[in-house]
Amino acid sequence: MKLELSKRQEAILEIVKKEGPITGEQIAERLSLTRATLRPDMAILTMAGLLEARPRVGYYYSGKTPNKVIAEKLHRIKVGEVKSVPVVVSEHCSVYDAVVTMFIEDVGTLIVVREGGILEGVISRKDLLKITLGGQDIHKLPVGVVMTRMPNVITVGPDDSVWLAAKKLITHEVDALPVVRPVEGGDKNKDLEVIGRLSKTNITRLFVELGEGN
């Protein structure tokens, strides 16, 4: 990902790199432009984190490359800000009902919980396809026998960065992660309350929004 700067913005950046700290007035002079003309460019460069402005000192170069600025942004956005509501079933739910739930809720991953919304496992589309090929009675078969069970479920917390979540999706080759928080007084590794779902769609949507400059 690369931040596209205009020719004039590149020129401003070069001046500040060489001469900073430097006032807006002085930058305008170097470019034979008015301060007012430069104002939008200065705003973009400061908002992008490339330049920093200090009152009575002027502008100076932050030392960050555009890619570094983007990386910092991705580490700052939290899972809690982009997560979706979880679609959950009980482990006694039949494979048939799980398939129906997937269609109705329009999700590719179901999260299996026990009483209190505590994470038990996850079921993917292919888990359900595989069991369907087995020729067993899917009306009777509970999802508990096909799900990926705790402690093998990869999760994220609401305060983790979206970057970490995306990294886990890629590293573990899964489509979605339950968003969890430890239950008060419970076992930190075993008793996780499901409070959301983070899928590749959330990451893609964020990517589109960032691309639109939001």
Interaction between residue 167 and ligand ADP (CB under 6 A): no
Total residues contacting ligand ADP by CB under 6 A comes to 16
Q: Which amino acid is at 128?
A: L
Nearest alpha-carbon partner for 177 in 147, 157, 204: 157
Interaction between residue 177 and ligand ADP (CB under 6 A): yes
Interaction between residue 156 and ligand ADP (CB under 6 A): no
Is the CB of 126 or the CB of 205 nearer to ligand ADP?
Answer: 126
What is the rounded distance in angstroms from the CA atom of residue 20 to the CA atom of residue 5?
Answer: 19
Question: For ligand ADP, what does the binding mask look like between residues 131 and 150, x meaning CB under 6 A?
Answer: -----------------x--
Interaction between residue 112 and ligand ADP (CB under 6 A): no
Query: 66: cis peptide before it, omega within 30°?
Result: no
What is the rounded distance in angstroms from the CA atom of residue 161 to the CA atom of residue 139?
Answer: 40
Is the CB of 16 or the CB of 79 nearer to ligand ADP?
Answer: 79
Interaction between residue 198 and ligand ADP (CB under 6 A): no
Those residues whose C-beta lies under 8 Å from the C-beta of residue 102, and which sit 6 or more positions away, are 108, 110, 125, 128
- Answer for the pair 173, 196: CB distance below 8 angstroms, yes or no: no
Interaction between residue 164 and ligand ADP (CB under 6 A): no
Residues near ligand ADP (CB under 6 A) are 109, 122-127, 148, 152-154, 173-177
